[in-house]
């Protein structure tokens, strides 16, 4: 029996982004046993193109989606998007094309704050109408679910948190670090504004100035790298900071196995894969309580929350962990248990298989144009 086709919209599968990680996870997941998953690339991530090529892609990509829907006879179009102006208007065009073609549409939102994005009454009205078009709107956390129900009560919204394959992060042993050893900190992700990297570095410098031995590995690339490297030189902490470049697959799992704590002091997030991967590896998170992050961990049980924009809070968390290695070991074990029980890729695959099944069951056959 032919499997129904789900067309997954997202960046290049080789791009460094949470959405690419999500698309790859779904395409490699057990969902493929029931549905034929096809990727349709959108956005500029992972592309090398000049201004003219970018303009042509912007103008004709919706037409490309139309052809892809009919080529694959797609039953479901799964749009992965974020709440920013560029993505919203671009993906609204894809949403309209998919609906015109008779496909069911899953509109999954991975980042951005709805209350801020729709703060202006006119924009709020546009968003409310737009969110009625998909057959299902998917968000990542309970907080986002409540925000969407408050602002767009007619939107067919539900929460499906991210999940990961825990196996690559379970195979490494984590010997307890000696009390005299440096606290090994890691950041994994884009080096971009809004990730709290300057606060992370300032917190590290303050902790070291107070006598704490801590080191940081920054695994990623992006537009902030040059400024961050300059700040590290000027602060005199070059010996404590390593810029390791982007980390993937086995290298990322190995890096996390050698880390004590993840620092992710972002100003906003959806539900970051770096957090789930780190916790699956037993790495204790130092994170801001943004997006879906508070759904994942309990303060003091799995890690620590720090205030957005506060390098002092980051420094305090580093000092606390460096001076209590028993707490690090206890929280490490709790992190692994938490992710394995509630944030596995098998749970995500089951959630989306059920969702796709409901949508396909309600879809009328596509007319031949």
Q: What DSSP string describes 148-185?
A: HHHH-TTS-EEE----B--HHHHSS--PPPPTTSPEEE
Residues 189 and 323 in one domain: yes
Q: What is the pTM of this model?
A: 0.83
Contacts of 176 (CB under 8 A, 6+ apart): 325, 329
Provide mean pLDDT across the span 107-128.
89
Strand order in the sheet with 241-243: 241-243, 214-219, 183-188, 261-264, 284-287, 304-305
Residues 286 and 329 in one domain: yes
Residues 261 and 158 in one domain: no
Overall domain count for the chain: 2
Q: Which pLDDT does position 368 carry in this prediction?
A: 46
Residues 32 and 151 in one domain: yes
Q: Which pLDDT does position 339 carry in this prediction?
A: 96
Report if residue 369 sits inside a domain: no
Q: Which pLDDT does position 50 carry in this prediction?
A: 76
State whether the Cα torsion 224-229-234-237 is positive or negative.
positive
Please report, for the domain that includes residue 108, its CATH number.
3.40.50.2000
Task: Using a pLDDT cut of 70, give the percent of the chain over it.
Answer: 94
Average pLDDT score, the chain:
91
* Res. 120: pLDDT tops 50: yes
Q: What is the DSSP pairing of strand 214-219 with strand 183-188?
A: parallel
Report if residue 38 sits inside a domain: yes
Q: Which pLDDT does position 297 carry in this prediction?
A: 95
Instruction: Point out the least confidently predicted range of 108-117, 342-351, 354-363.
Output: 108-117
8 pairs with which residues across the strands? Answer: 39, 78
Report if residue 55 sits inside a domain: yes
Domain enclosing residue 61, as ranges: 5-163+344-361
Residues 279 and 355 in one domain: no
Residues 174 and 234 in one domain: yes
Report if residue 231 sits inside a domain: yes
Report if residue 368 sits inside a domain: no
Report if residue 366 sits inside a domain: no
Residues 111 and 233 in one domain: no
HSE at residue 5, side-chain half, CA atoms within 13 A, is 14
């Amino acid at each position: 029996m032919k499997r129904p086709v789900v067309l997954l919209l997202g960046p290049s599968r080789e791009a460094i982004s949470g959405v690419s990680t999500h698309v790859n996870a779904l395409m490699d997941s057990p969902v493929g046993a029931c549905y034929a998953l096809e990727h349709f690339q959108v956005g500029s991530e992972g592309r090398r193109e000049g201004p003219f090529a970018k303009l042509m892609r912007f103008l004709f990509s919706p037409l490309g989606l139309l052809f892809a829907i009919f080529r694959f006879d797609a039953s479901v179009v799964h749009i992965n998007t974020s709440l920013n102006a560029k993505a919203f208007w671009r993906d609204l065009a894809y949403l309209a094309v998919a609906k015109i073609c008779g496909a069911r549409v899953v509109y999954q939102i991975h980042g951005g704050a709805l209350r801020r994005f729709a703060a202006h009454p006119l924009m709020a009205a546009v968003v409310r109408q737009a969110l009625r078009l998909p057959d299902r709107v998917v968000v990542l956390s309970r907080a986002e679910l409540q925000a969407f129900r408050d602002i767009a009560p007619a939107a067919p919204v539900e929460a499906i948190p991210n999940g990961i394959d825990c196996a690559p992060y379970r195979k490494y042993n984590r010997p307890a670090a000696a009390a005299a050893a440096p606290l090994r900190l890691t950041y994994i992700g884009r080096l971009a504004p809004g990730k709290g990297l300057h606060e992370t570095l300032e917190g590290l410098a303050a902790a070291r100035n107070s006598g704490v031995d801590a080191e940081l590995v920054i695994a990623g690339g992006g537009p902030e790298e040059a400024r961050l490297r300059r700040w590290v030189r000027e602060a005199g902490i070059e010996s404590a900071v390593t810029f390791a470049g982007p980390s993937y697959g086995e290298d990322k799992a190995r890096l996390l196995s050698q880390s004590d704590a993840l620092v992710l002091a972002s100003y906003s997030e959806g539900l970051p894969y770096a957090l789930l991967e780190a916790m699956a590896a037993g790495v204790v998170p130092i994170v801001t309580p943004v997006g879906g992050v508070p759904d994942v961990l309990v303060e003091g049980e799995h890690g620590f929350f720090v205030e957005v924009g506060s390098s002092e809070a980051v420094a305090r968390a580093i000092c606390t962990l460096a001076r209590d290695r028993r707490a690090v070991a206890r929280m490490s074990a709790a992190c692994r248990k938490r992710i394995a029980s509630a944030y596995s890729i098998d749970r995500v695959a089951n959630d989306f298989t059920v969702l796709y099944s409901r949508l396909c069951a309600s879809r009328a056959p596509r007319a031949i144009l």
